């Protein structure tokens, strides 16, 4: 009976810790995905597409910086393993998405303005 009681307390404490850490990670806002039409539908929309894409890439940089700050705040390399895995997975997924959007943009619209996009960190 005592073991069950201790297990429940431990579960409640760990749940509280994970909730507080995960809750702060939810403060990191994933930017709205830029819509990049097929190459044959880009004509006349380049300026609009470039502006939306620049906003997306700026937002994605802020999002990954936020996730990385959350990881540092959670203890960095010494963060609880589950928290570290979740934050690193979110960061890596964001970087992969941004790389895909950049390739799609380059293929359909043209070269990306290097000043608008800083290198992503994994």
pLDDT (tens digit, 9 = 90+) per residue, 49-108?
999 999 999 999 999 999 999 999 999 999 999 999 999 999 999 999 999 999 999 999
Is the CB of residue 112 less than 8 Å from the CB of residue 55?
no
Does residue 68 contact residue 121 with C-beta atoms inside 8 Å?
yes
Give domain limits for the chain: 2-108
Closest CA to 32 of 60, 4, 72, 61: 60
- What is the pLDDT at residue 3? 66
pTM (whole model) above 0.75: no
Report the distance separating Cα 60 and Cα 54, nearest Å.
Answer: 10
Beta carbons of 4 and 28 less than 8 angstroms apart? no
């Amino acid at each position: 009976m005592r073991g069950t009681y201790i297990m429940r307390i431990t579960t409640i404490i760990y749940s509280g810790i994970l909730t507080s850490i995960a809750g702060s990670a939810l403060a990191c806002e994933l930017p709205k995905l830029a819509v990049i039409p097929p190459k044959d539908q880009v004509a006349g929309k380049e300026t609009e597409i470039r502006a939306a894409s620049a906003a997306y890439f700026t937002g994605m940089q802020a999002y990954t910086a936020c996730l990385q700050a959350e990881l540092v705040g959670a203890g960095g390399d010494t963060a609880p393993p589950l928290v570290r895995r979740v934050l690193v997975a979110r960061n890596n997924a964001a970087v992969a998405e941004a790389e895909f959007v950049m390739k799609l943009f380059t293929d359909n619209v043209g070269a990306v303005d290097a000043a608008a996009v800083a290198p992503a960190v994994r």
